[in-house]
Amino acid sequence: MVSTNSYLAWVRPSTWALEREPSSFAPSRGWWSNKDMDPVPPHKRTWTTLNYIAYWVSDAWNAAVWQLASSMLAVGLSWRQALPAIAVGHIVIAVVMVLNGTIGARLHISFPVLNRSSFGFWFSYFSVISRMVLSMFWLGIQAYTGSQCIYQMLKAIWPSVARLPNHLPPGAHITTSGIMCYFLYWLILIPLMFISPQRIRWFFIFKALVVPPAWIAIFIWSVVKVPMSQGLLRQHSHLSGSALSYAWLSALNSALGIYATVAVNIPDFTRYAKNERAQYIQLLVIPITFTLVGFIGIAVTSAGEVLYGAVLWNPLSLIDHWDNRAATFFAAFTFAIAQLGTNISANTLSAANDMTALFPKYINIRRGQIITAIIGPWAFVPWEIVTTAQGFLSFMNGYTVFLGPFAGIMVTDYWIIHRGRVDVPSMYQPHGRYRYTYGFNWRAVLTMLLAVPPNMPGLIASVNPAVHIGGVIKVFRFAWLFGVRCFYFIEAMMTWLWAMH
């Protein structure tokens, strides 16, 4: 009887309710905030310029950025066309990152709370849920790449792993050994969910010290094996005319998309800044580091094409061709460290902040990270998405349909409409000034209605290439830029109409 009562108590929701603490701004009645949602107190504002450099060096050196660059070669662009797309994309993202990041560093509040001022208290939940789902998707993608790292490490130690019988059908797009390594990577990821955002910055510094030297060593190896005059510099695009133009725009949109998620929720990290100047360094470090990693990915992929006769856009596929087991192990190890750091910074922490806003009575950041790490890697079957370079780029393009409008709304609302003057306490009040019209900011609603539908046919066609939609897919090729510009256009039109009256 005692055991039954204990079990019933364990499953009772009240058992899991967080310990209530006085909130600075939320109403005393109801659960509209918790300690992790409140503005960060001064003693927890510990991130310096060095921490933001380490954060972005850590995030830039991950397999997805390498894959982004090398997949551009796989779809027909040359390095001369791919590299400018990466550079321009990350310059634009860096500007948006600092504009949104300054808000977090100035107000010390998270993305879900800040978003209430631009979307409206209730409509903000749409952007929060969308961002949370995208974080889980991206967590699965990065976890799948991490599992490939585990496979290469195990194969380097025990070559018999490569001969492990496969009991899964070809349509599964993953093998028995692949799912085993995916599970092992997941087991490594889970304990890292218990580290607080204030302390996890030391992991970013560790990754920033370990990963870049290893990848530069791989770049040097590729140049020694295949001099640039025989590999990279001889590589040319087979595209021309409008096909080349739209392929480049699609590549630019993919470059924007790879960290368009963080550009939206960067306040989740800049809220911990000692001051707002500490995060200005992002303007330099983002385009420089991401373009450098992109160049390394392009150069090594070009060398791999000469050495192995195929465009190996996935760096783990290239490592699989190596004969030196020690080199294979340590290269895969650095990629695994890179994936772990990115999964923590760009995915689990972001989704956890979103969950705290959805369920503040029960979920804090730590619990949100654990829930994300349990659901994200398994619910979205990432191996179905990234089996080809085109599939990877389609995924990158796909979610920019929503993130472009989100970024445009946030930047324009704070810097142009409100001119940097917002009421933080009202962001915690469901009936405060940011209730707007029944909890909806009509400008944000109109932006989403204008920006998203034109891109939906392209999104559908990218998911199912059998669907032919004609020329409308061209809008989808620059979905992020289209979405960002929509809010600027709407605001200009509304200002003009108001002036007329």
The Cα 240–Cα 376 span in angstroms is 40
In this prediction, residues 302-322 reach a mean pLDDT of 85
pLDDT on residue 501: 44
* Whole-number Cα distances in Å, 439 to 37, 117, 122, 246, 372: 19, 10, 5, 39, 27
Maximum C-alpha span of the chain: 78
Banded model confidence at residue 285, pLDDT cuts 50, 70, 90: very high
Please give the average per-residue pLDDT across 330-339, as a whole number.
90
pLDDT tens column, 161-186: 989 998 888 878 889 999 999 999 99
Decide which of 79 and 220 is more confident.
220
Helix H or strand E encompassing 201: helix 201-225
Mean pLDDT, the chain, integer: 83
Let me know the angle formed at the C-alpha of 492 by 474 and 91, rounded to the nearest 5 degrees.
55
Q: Give dist(CA 207, CA 96) in Å, integer.
A: 25
- Mean pLDDT over 482-489 rounds to 74
For the stretch 21-79, pLDDT in tens is 666 666 665 677 888 888 999 988 989 998 899 888 878 888 888 878 777 777 778 88
Which residues contact residue 209 at a Cβ distance below 8 angstroms, ignoring those fewer than 6 apart? none
Q: What mean pLDDT is predicted for residues 238-263?
A: 81
**CA–CA separation, 91 and 480 (whole Å):** 14
Tokens read off for 94: 């860096």
The predicted model scores a pTM of: 0.86
Place of tokens 């050994």: 177
CB-based burial of residue 240 (10 Å sphere; 0-12 exposed, 13-18 middle, 19+ buried)?
exposed
pLDDT of 311 strictly over 90? no
Share of residues in the chain with pLDDT > 90 (%): 28
> Residue 241: what residue type?
G
- The CA distance from 145 to 40, in Å, is 34
Q: Single out the residue of 450, 482, 454, 484 nearest to residue 469, CA to CA.
A: 454
pLDDT for 179 = 92
How high is the pLDDT of residue 1?
Answer: 47
pLDDT recorded at residue 203? 79
- Among residues 441, 450, 435, the alpha carbon closest in space to that of 487 is found at 450
Q: 103 or 137, which is more confident?
A: 103
CA distances 48 to 43, 56, 57, 281, 347, Å, are 13, 13, 14, 10, 21
The pLDDT of residue 273 is 93
Q: How far apart are CA 469 and CA 460, in angstroms?
A: 9
Residue listed under structure tokens 């804090």: 364
Average pLDDT estimate for 141-163: 91
Q: Which residues contact 132 (CB under 8 A, 6 or more apart)?
A: 350, 351, 354, 355, 358, 372
Q: Give the rounded percent of residues in the chain with a pLDDT score beyond 70.
A: 85
Looking at the DSSP assignment, which residues form a beta bridge with residue 273?
47
Give the bridge partners for 183, in sequence order: none
**417 vs 490, higher pLDDT:** 417
HEC readout, 405-458: HHHHHHHHHHHHHCCCCCCCHHHHCCCCHHHCECCECHHHHHHHHHHCHHHHHH
Q: Tens digit of pLDDT for each residue in 366-392? A: 889 999 999 888 887 888 766 654 555
Tell me: pLDDT of 16 over 80.
no
pLDDT at 7 over 50: yes
Residue 120 is given by DSSP the state: -
Residues of 138-167 as b/e, b for ≥16 C-beta within 10 angstroms? bbbbbbbbbbbbbbbbbbbeeeebeebeee
The tokens for 150 are 């585990």
Separation between Cα atoms, residue 255 and residue 67, nearest integer Å = 11
Which tokens in the block code for residue 266? Answer: 């960067």
* Region 464-479 average pLDDT: 70
The set of residues, in sequence order, having a beta carbon less than 8 Å from that of 14 and lying 6+ positions away, is none
Rounded Cα gap, residues 33 and 364, in angstroms: 10
pLDDT over 50 at 500, yes or no: no
